[in-house]
Structure 1
Amino acid sequence: MKKQSLVKGAFVLTLAAFITKVLVFSNSIVLSRVLGPEGIGLKKMVMPFMGLMMTLTTIGLPVAISRLVAEADAQGNRGKVKKILVISLVITGSLSIFVVSLSIFSGKYLSSFFLTDPRSYNSFMAMIPIIPIGAVSGVLKGYFRGRQTMNPIAFAQVFEQIVRVCLTYILVQRLVPLGIEYAAAGAVLCSVLGEACSLIFFIVMFKISHHRKMKISRPSWSQAFRGKNVLIELLQTGLPTTGNGFVISITRAVQPIVITKSLALAGVSSALITKQYGMLTGFVMPLLFLPGFINQSLGATLVPAISEANAQNNLRLIKRRLNQAIRVALIVGVPSTLLLYLYAHELMTAVYHAPTAAPLLKLIAPFFLLNYLQSPLQSVLVGMGQAKTAMFNNILARCTNVALIYPLASNPLLGINGVILAISVGVILETILHYSSVVKSIGYALDIPNIIKILVAGIAMGYIGRALFINLNNLTSQGGATLILLTGIVFSIFIYMLLLFFLKVINGSDIVRIPFVGKMLGKIFPK
């Protein structure tokens, strides 16, 4: 398989992530109608454990594999690539056995005490097979990312969701007559089977790739110890990534407690606390993170791209690829932020029927523009073997975030706005820390002229699009509010793209590199 460029790889993963989101949404509609709230609750109870089990089993190795495979590939060291895969399979295989055994023996206890509903036992047991399946899938995903061939990952991601949706529709309905607990377990099992089909796809793609002669058989601990240096390199990236994941999980668990206690001290009633917290986490945050899959795609492609350049000691290429990633992130982030700010009231009304949540969205949206810079900066640190630095930056920012919630949210003058300010300070601090670390490592400087152009295009887009929206609203006295909103947003994005071409932030040669439609669109725009 041919190596893909940073932009092409990111686009392929972004497209797959978008299709996956649509399929996941469709699947959630099917499940909600078949299972109902009670069945969905039983299924959702085990999902956090699924994430925790996968974190324990993979210990951040997929990211480490992508970095080391990219470096070994740049050096033409096929032997090291094989060692990386063998050692990774030994580690994940051994951890899978331990975690599966632990899960089987503690299933009844966890479902009764931690999950609070004994009926969740069936769903918990149905989840267990995903542990070894997901572990091997993670290793192969890391390999393909390291080889900078994102097509197998993209196709597997979509294929997995298609299988999941089809099986959900067929299997879950047949299990409903047996009881809601069996139907919920069937829904979990559909996720497992989807992951299994994804793994089969990865194995097939691995065998037909140009590394098909590289046989990986009977991995053992003796092979792992013979590659002790590779093992150390894997753990140097994998363990900080795992530590970062645990910190995120802990802060997510602690944050709701701190928020509710702080708002209570501010004199907010328990009913209003629940309502405000629900608006922030259930309405505002999903809209803020809606374009987040683009950041995830950029991060996944940037780590191996930076590792390859770092192995070649090509500092100029590292800086160029980081500039590319930041430019793409801001091209998406600036209009997203402005549209959320300008249309906060209309979006909250149209999507959630909750216009009272609009002020919260308007307050937090401008700060979250910096969130689009975090993924590229963190990926550079990981790609250069500084995962530990990235982890410490994240820990410091998230601890600061949680620590500030109490003094700010307990202030009666701030209340829930204090929570938003604390979260925003965390975002700002994390971005500054990552940027400072990158500057210290490679002497990087932001491409200020292009950033200014993107900001100018975004502000002009917002002004022109909002003016059109207001005029359309004035002309239409009744109904059609959602259609007018969509018209205003689509027109704004169209104006934004024209301004980017006019300001030469993007040009025809950038468009041509887009997979599938690039050549056709390239004929429209000048190079």
Structure 2
Amino acid sequence: MTKQNFLKGTIILIIAGMITRFLGFINRIVMARIMGEEGIGLYNMALPTLFLMYTISQIGLPIAISKRVAEADARKDFKKIKQILVISLSITITLSIFSSILMYIIIPYIAENLLTDARVYYPMLAIIPIIPISAVSAVIRGYFQGRQNMKPQSYAQVLEQIVRIIFIMILVQFLAPYGLEFAAAGAMLAVIIGEIVSLFLMLHMFKLKKRIKLRQNLWQYIKSGRETLNGLLSIALPSTASRMVGSIGNFLEPILVSQSLAIAGFQTAVATSLYGALTGYAIPLLYLPTFITHSLAVALVPNISEADAHNHKKLIHYRIHQAVRLSFASGAIATVILTLFADAILTYMYGTNNASLFLKIMAPCFLFMYIQFPLNATLQALDLAKQAMWNNIIAMMVKFIVLIVLTSNPMFGIYGAAIAMCVGVVIGTILHLFALFRTIRFRIPLVMLFKMIVLVGLTSWLGWLLSHLFSFQLHQMVTFFVIAVILLCFYILLLFNLKFISLEEIRQLRKK
């Protein structure tokens, strides 16, 4: 079993996330050009239900499996590892079967009454086979994380996206003549095929690397596994509660947007198209830097936990500052480029700039989202998962209130939903910061806040200056890339000069 140290494991996750995110954008570009805004809207209306089923069927077990396998691996207790896997698979497979049956029963009601577009029925129906496949994948992924081997899930992640792109081009084009609902269902089928291939790869790597025989004495391991079950659930249930809040929020969001736009007087097809522009074009671009912040958050949990166990308060504060600093650095350049060149980026990628105002409104606010990831991970690591959950609930409730009030007003329409998302992001991050200050007196120093403002301000000024010096026009793609490269080089110099990245951190990548 090939293990990686903390920094190398994080870098592997970041590289895999970067490749996956790039392939994901190719995937969305293909879908957008074949299906259009309305088809993307149908696809994205179905996705929150899928994520909710994911949460129900997995109940936070991947994190629990990772922690418990790591503990057992440190003791070389391979019987314990086998018991963890057997019990976890039993739970997830059982829950995924019940989730699939439940989903099949409620799909017609959700499509026709809640989402106000009966065409969502077919893409939602295509979701069902993904649930048990992803449940098994989650267990295997948690096992590899616990063994400190990030390569299998990284390889599987990249392969899944490649397969998905290939089959989206095949299935969506084949089914598009039959209607947008069938094209969206074809996109879901491509997701299923990608998940299957990804699972087979991880199972193959598990078979090559395993030190345990999983199929022997299964019932005996289940019967004697009460202690293991309790150990898993003690971690999984609090984590699930927090994830459930997000999943329920994602599930309710398209319903509230659809109903609010209907109140504002928008027709169903128009509402679906507007929601498709927001969630299919703008949101993926805004979430682009999160593959870095998510990787930092994943790596931060065990590091903070270890420091907390040894009562190293200074190290805890240093790690949080480090994660916030690097997360902000990764997101600030994306914010500047998306704000200044929204029309150009959308046109180059999707052939339309309909979502440009969404980007200009939301990009500055999503700087709070980028630092929210490590803050949330820190709360989990410090056994403050309950506080993180309540913070997320409050932020979600405020977001939904703002969404309903503004989106149902014809003056705002779909832009009310965009503003509501910004409000939710900002409030969630502020509440996390307040919780950390109250418990461990953590705060972002005023010097760091000043440096953040300087970094964004100088980069924005240079981007605006370059666009005027080059007399940049929308159709000049080569000019855009030249400006982007110059801006990026300047940005990297700023990161070192303002000490967002230190040479010592780069040297640490070479250490084992």
Instruction: Please indicate the TM-score interval, normalised by the length of the shorter structure.
Output: 0.7 to 0.9
Q: Which residue number corresponds to residue 61 of structure 2?
A: 61
Larger Rg over CA atoms: 1
1:156–1:201 Cα contact (<8 Å) kept: yes
Deviation readout 1:189-229 (Å, 9 max, x if unpaired): 443232222222222333444x6247575256523424353
Q: Which residue number corresponds to residue 524 of structure 1?
A: none
Q: Which residue number corresponds to residue 304 of structure 2?
A: 306
Distance in 1, Cα, partners of 2:400 & 2:119: 33
Distance in 2, Cα, partners of 1:494 & 1:91: 50
TM-score normalised over the length of structure 2: 0.80
Distance in 1, Cα, partners of 2:271 & 2:172: 36
Q: Which residue number corresponds to residue 340 of structure 2?
A: 342
Q: How much has 1:91 moved relative to structure 2?
A: 1.0
Q: Which residue number corresponds to residue 14 of structure 1?
A: 14
Q: How much has 1:437 moved relative to structure 2?
A: 1.9
With over 3 angstroms needed to count, the CA separation of the structure-2 counterparts of 1:34 and 1:349, relative to structure 1, is: closer
Distance in 2, Cα, partners of 1:178 & 1:145: 43
With over 3 angstroms needed to count, the CA separation of the structure-2 counterparts of 1:408 and 1:103, relative to structure 1, is: closer
1:291 to 289, 292, 301: 289
Q: Out of 355-364 and 461-470, give the one that drifted further.
A: 355-364
Q: Which residue number corresponds to residue 212 of structure 1?
A: 211
Q: Which residue number corresponds to residue 488 of structure 1?
A: 483
With over 3 angstroms needed to count, the CA separation of the structure-2 counterparts of 1:246 and 1:471, relative to structure 1, is: closer
Residue aligned with 2:366, SS: helix
Kindly provide the amino acid, as one letter, of the partner of residue 362 in structure 1.
Answer: K
Kindly provide the amino acid, as one letter, of the partner of residue 201 in structure 2.
Answer: F
Percent of paired sites with the same residue: 39
2:257–2:414 Cα contact (<8 Å) kept: no
Distance in 1, Cα, partners of 2:474 & 2:481: 13
With over 3 angstroms needed to count, the CA separation of the structure-2 counterparts of 1:176 and 1:152, relative to structure 1, is: same
With over 3 angstroms needed to count, the CA separation of the structure-2 counterparts of 1:171 and 1:249, relative to structure 1, is: closer
Distance in 2, Cα, partners of 1:362 & 1:170: 34
Q: How much has 1:153 moved relative to structure 2?
A: 1.3
With over 3 angstroms needed to count, the CA separation of the structure-2 counterparts of 1:114 and 1:248, relative to structure 1, is: closer
Q: Which residue number corresponds to residue 499 of structure 1?
A: 494
Kindly provide the amino acid, as one letter, of the partner of residue 477 in structure 2.
Answer: T
With over 3 angstroms needed to count, the CA separation of the structure-2 counterparts of 1:186 and 1:128, relative to structure 1, is: same
Which ranges in structure 1 are unaligned for 5 or more consecutive residues?
520-527
With over 3 angstroms needed to count, the CA separation of the structure-2 counterparts of 1:402 and 1:374, relative to structure 1, is: same
Q: How much has 1:109 moved relative to structure 2?
A: 8.4
Q: How much has 1:65 moved relative to structure 2?
A: 2.8
2:111–2:119 Cα contact (<8 Å) kept: yes
Distance in 2, Cα, partners of 1:91 & 1:73: 22
With over 3 angstroms needed to count, the CA separation of the structure-2 counterparts of 1:178 and 1:495, relative to structure 1, is: closer
Q: How much has 1:169 moved relative to structure 2?
A: 5.7
Q: How much has 1:272 moved relative to structure 2?
A: 9.3
1:382-393 alignment, distance < 5 Å: 382-393=380-391
Kindly provide the amino acid, as one letter, of the partner of residue 85 in structure 2.
Answer: L
1:159-238 alignment, distance < 5 Å: 159-167=159-167, 188-209=188-209, 212-213=211-212, 215=214, 217=216, 218=218, 221-238=222-239
Distance in 1, Cα, partners of 2:355 & 2:34: 30
Q: Out of 193-202 and 301-310, give the one that drifted further.
A: 301-310
Q: Out of 89-98 and 351-360, give the one that drifted further.
A: 351-360
Distance in 2, Cα, partners of 1:216 & 1:408: 56
Q: Which residue number corresponds to residue 522 of structure 1?
A: none
Residue aligned with 2:288, SS: coil
TM-score normalised over the length of structure 1: 0.78
Deviation readout 1:230-275 (Å, 9 max, x if unpaired): 14313433431342233323441344146536756xxx99999888
With over 3 angstroms needed to count, the CA separation of the structure-2 counterparts of 1:225 and 1:273, relative to structure 1, is: closer
RMSD over aligned CA atoms reads 4.4
Distance in 1, Cα, partners of 2:190 & 2:408: 44
1:347-386 alignment, distance < 5 Å: 347=345, 358=356, 360-386=358-384
1:71–1:307 Cα contact (<8 Å) kept: no
Q: Which residue number corresponds to residue 399 of structure 1?
A: 397
Distance in 2, Cα, partners of 1:391 & 1:87: 26
Kindly provide the amino acid, as one letter, of the partner of residue 205 in structure 2.
Answer: M
1:276–1:416 Cα contact (<8 Å) kept: yes
Distance in 2, Cα, partners of 1:409 & 1:128: 31
Q: Which residue number corresponds to residue 88 of structure 2?
A: 88
1:6–1:302 Cα contact (<8 Å) kept: no
With over 3 angstroms needed to count, the CA separation of the structure-2 counterparts of 1:17 and 1:112, relative to structure 1, is: same
Residue aligned with 1:367, SS: coil
Deviation readout 1:326-358 (Å, 9 max, x if unpaired): 121011122222233333455456556766865
Which ranges in structure 2 are unaligned for 5 or more consecutive residues?
none
Q: How much has 1:7 moved relative to structure 2?
A: 4.1
Distance in 1, Cα, partners of 2:214 & 2:311: 30
2:372–2:429 Cα contact (<8 Å) kept: yes
Distance in 1, Cα, partners of 2:202 & 2:502: 35
Distance in 2, Cα, partners of 1:42 & 1:79: 46
Kindly provide the amino acid, as one letter, of the partner of residue 330 in structure 1.
Answer: F
1:168–1:190 Cα contact (<8 Å) kept: yes
Distance in 1, Cα, partners of 2:402 & 2:309: 41
Kindly provide the amino acid, as one letter, of the partner of residue 223 in structure 2.
Answer: S
1:43–1:184 Cα contact (<8 Å) kept: yes
With over 3 angstroms needed to count, the CA separation of the structure-2 counterparts of 1:221 and 1:385, relative to structure 1, is: farther
With over 3 angstroms needed to count, the CA separation of the structure-2 counterparts of 1:251 and 1:40, relative to structure 1, is: closer
How many residues are treated as equivalent by the alignment?
508
Q: How much has 1:430 moved relative to structure 2?
A: 0.7
2:323–2:374 Cα contact (<8 Å) kept: yes
Deviation readout 1:138-178 (Å, 9 max, x if unpaired): 01222333444322211110122233344556677888999
Distance in 2, Cα, partners of 1:270 & 1:112: 11
Deviation readout 1:415-434 (Å, 9 max, x if unpaired): 77665544333222111111
Residue aligned with 2:250, SS: helix
